Structure 1
């Protein structure tokens, strides 16, 4: 500003000097002529630069600032610096905003921005999935008109946002959401949604697991406790009473021992590290399984081994023995006397398959998907009478997962079942192979 005034004063001084010189040489007419021409030139000069400034202001881009003369050069230079700085600031703000938007887009949780009237201003893809919204069409609409659940409406109106809302959905899929509103300025709010369906399932499984373990242990403990209490009340139990009570107490104790051992095995499998890569001698393992099946059957069934391959496996012999043994013992327990149980080992060039086929009671189709759940029983009374703990197929599932194998079950009521374990080609070993 000071430079502009200085230059203007200098220009006025020069004009006055020329006017005075013209007055002394040519009279008063020359004085007014020089002043008129000088003022007109000064006015045209400034109007021209003002026109350039107005034209630039219509499209104010730093690279298009005009060139000026005199004081206007300084003015345009200052404008250029200011416009360039503003452009850089805008670019930085745009980059920051873009990063925040990209972060919101990539969040695994749903995010919805609401205005003071609970209308949607912005939402990310996960919120679209959680609330079945239209990302373009629903912007500007009230969230209460789009999420039609009474619990959500109460949560909005009560304005008690200290605790999240648990929202259960059945359409289009079953889902459990944790929804929380977070005010972030005087007028706007955030809706944060998180899918906790899997967490809810895990918690349900844990609750059921504790309840089932307690239920399974209660019966043998009650039986043993009742017998002990009876013996304590008797002054001198007779040998006949002891012979009656002790075998029953031993049976219940063994039942608890089997349950605890299965629980420990299942815990070790769930929390253990990688599977051993030993070479498992399938010839020996199949012979052991056959002997165990015959011992468990005690001649009540026809037990047959069909070994159609000499291939071995890479894995843990103890874990595979436990998994195969559970399948074999289930077949024996659930096959009535006089039935047949067939153990089969095959290799077709792509996969190796161990299968157990029985002619037992069979399993209804609706029970097949849940067979490997812990403590899941098709017939609870029959399972307990057969001596099962309800954990055998859960152990099988974890062992097979550690060996990258797959369990397939086919069954028909009153006609028997076939449990097949398929191992991929990379798990198959030659009998004389070297450990990788």
Structure 2
């Protein structure tokens, strides 16, 4: 019944009119003939209508309430759905339009609830994705008002949620400086990539415009990527290449400068030829040491580098290295007081290598008549080995860089060496889980220290 409600109301109205007319006629006849014969027919009619109409109206109201009640049920279900409560259901058992409306509303409620739940899930998923990004991110609308952001972005600029949400980019001082191209990118519907800076942080800023379904500008997404470490690595790479090139060029230039006169028979004296060959041989050894040190450092710096450790007699290493250098005639006093040391858990060859690097380094920068002392200090968990010299020391501004690749205290690079020894020593100590450090005062000497853990 498509017109169920209309028919019920029509029947109600017709019934009310019929009953009213019947009752009015009946009462008018009863009043005029029996109860109030002294009244005229018109007066009896008026009295009958006064009596009948309220009664019929009350009865019609009661019936109409029963007809309207299902409609109120449907309205209540609709209001609850609008307010977000999808548990209220309309009555589907009624006939006609009301029942059909109830079924439609309940189906709409289920679909609406499913869509709202899906949107909530998508919102949470988007929130998790944004906060899992390593880059800072904001999204803005066509008016440059911030609509989305993540925690990384807030941390980068030291902002709070209330500082950005619903706020125009122009009202945030730090962003206003960084995103001057934002308006052009939105209006022109293109992307922009630039570098910015925040304190000591270098940022790569990427602005990508967003379009709506009519290909009209709808805003933009901005990514803030911290590339400070990448910049440092790039600078290190450039410095590394420059240093390697410089170190390789020196012996190669010397060798070339000596070979050319020999090839052109400019040098013919036998003694001079031998001297040239001797210099060429030394330069080739220098070149070989440089290549060996570069390869050694590269091996140590690989992620899978491993040094096998075992029980080691540290005393034998100390005494062997000391005897080796004690025989050198360098006019430098080498001091070491041999003592019995507990066994350590380390690598024999690597400890020897580090000790040799530190003593070699001390000899390079200690003038004749100077003094080099090797000391050991047995502590609770480890043994501290110290190589101290009375050389020229290290400038305060250079102490933080002495373990860097190709660092040389001698800026003129007249001293022998590749500048990689201390870097190799640090890498060895790091891999073995030990510490190495330096204390120095310019003009008074340096003291290099490293730890070796005892055998447990």
* Alignment TM-score, normalising by the size of structure 2: 0.80
Does the 8 Å contact 1:343/1:356 carry over to 2?
Answer: yes
Number of the residue aligned with 1:332: 363
d(CA) in 1 for partners of 2:9, 2:146: 61
- Give the root-mean-square deviation of aligned CA atoms: 3.4
1:238 deviates by: 1.4
Aligned position for 2:425: 396
Tell me: CA distance 1:6–1:89, structure 2 relative to 1, closer, same or farther (3 Å). same
2:176 and 2:101 mapped to 1: Cα distance? Answer: 63
Q: Map 1:224-239 onto structure 2 (within 5 A).
A: 224-234=255-265, 237-239=268-270
Q: Which residue of 1 aligns with 2:87?
A: 63
> What residue in structure 2 maps to residue 434 of structure 1?
none
CA distance in 2, matches of 1:187, 1:11: 52
Deviation at 1:400, TM superposition (A): 0.8
Per-residue CA deviations over 1:357-396 (Å, capped at 9, x if unaligned) read 1111111222111111111122222xx4331111111111
Does residue 133 of structure 2 align to residue 107 of structure 1?
Answer: yes
Distance 2:359 2:142 in 1: 66
C-alpha change, 1:12 and 1:175, in structure 2 (3 Å) is: same
1:230 Cα offset (Å): 0.8
Residues of 2 paired with 1:148 and 1:89: CA distance? Answer: 38
Is residue 74–residue 91 contact of structure 2 (8 Å, CA) maintained in 1? no
Shift of 1:351: 2.2
Shift of 1:103: 1.7
Q: 1:69 to 1:229 in 2, by over 3 A?
A: closer
Select the residue among 400, 407, 416 that pairs with 1:376.
407
How far apart in 1 are the matches of 2:140 and 2:422? Answer: 50
1:294 aligns with 2:326: yes
User: Which residue in the other structure is 2:201 paired with?
Assistant: 175
Q: Deviations over 1:175-195 (max 9, x none)?
A: 111110122333121101110
Q: Does 1:345 align with 2:376?
A: yes
CA shift at 1:140, angstroms? Answer: 3.3
Report how far residue 15 of structure 1 moved: 9.7
- Deviations 1:324-355 (CA, angstroms, capped at 9, x unpaired): 21111101111111222122233211222111
Structure-2 change in CA distance of 1:153 and 1:110 (3 Å)? closer
Q: CA deviation at 1:130?
A: 2.5
In 1, Cα distance between equivalents of 2:26 and 2:258? 141
**CA apart distance, 1:62:** 3.0
For 2:267 and 2:439, the matched residues in 1 are separated by 55
Q: Which residue in the other structure is 2:436 paired with?
A: 407
Query: Which stretch shows the higher mean deviation, 207-216 or 60-69?
Result: 60-69
Q: Closer, same or farther in 2 for the Cα pair 1:145/1:228, shift >3 Å?
A: farther
8 Å CA contact 2:157–2:174 kept in 1: the answer is: no
Does the CA contact (< 8 Å) of 1:309 and 1:347 recur in 2?
no
Shift of 1:12: 6.5
CA contact (8 A) 1:15 1:35 kept: no
Q: 1:162 to 1:15 in 2, by over 3 A?
A: closer
1:190 counterpart (218, 221, 228)? 221
* Shift in Å, 1:35: 9.2
3-state secondary structure, aligned to 2:181: helix
Alignment partner of 1:121 out of 147, 160, 163: 147
Q: Secondary structure at the match of 1:102?
A: helix
How far, CA to CA, are the matches of 2:23 and 2:193 in structure 1?
94
Give 1:44's aligned residue. Answer: 65
Match of 1:364 in 2: 395
- Deviation track 1:69-119 (CA, whole Å, cap 9, x = no partner) reads 733466445433432332232122112111211221222110101111222
| Distance (whole Å) between structure 2 residues aligned to residue 144 and residue 19 of structure 1 | 72
- Taking the aligned partners of 1:122 and 1:79, their CA distance within structure 2 comes to 34
Residue number among 141, 164, 175 corresponding to 2:193 in the alignment: 164
Aligned pairs for 1:72-91 within 5 A: 72=98, 75-91=101-117
Moved more, 180-189 or 213-222: 180-189
2:417 aligned with 1:417: no
> Which structure 2 segments of 5+ residues have no match?
28-51, 212-216
Instruction: Describe the SS at the equivalent of 2:144.
Output: coil
Change (3 A) 1:237 1:325: same
Q: Which runs of 5+ in 1 are unaligned?
A: 431-436
Q: Which structure exhibits the higher relative contact order, with contacts defined as CA atoms closer than 8 Å and separated by 6 or more residues?
A: 1
Change over 3 Å in CA distance of 1:307–1:95 after alignment to 2: farther
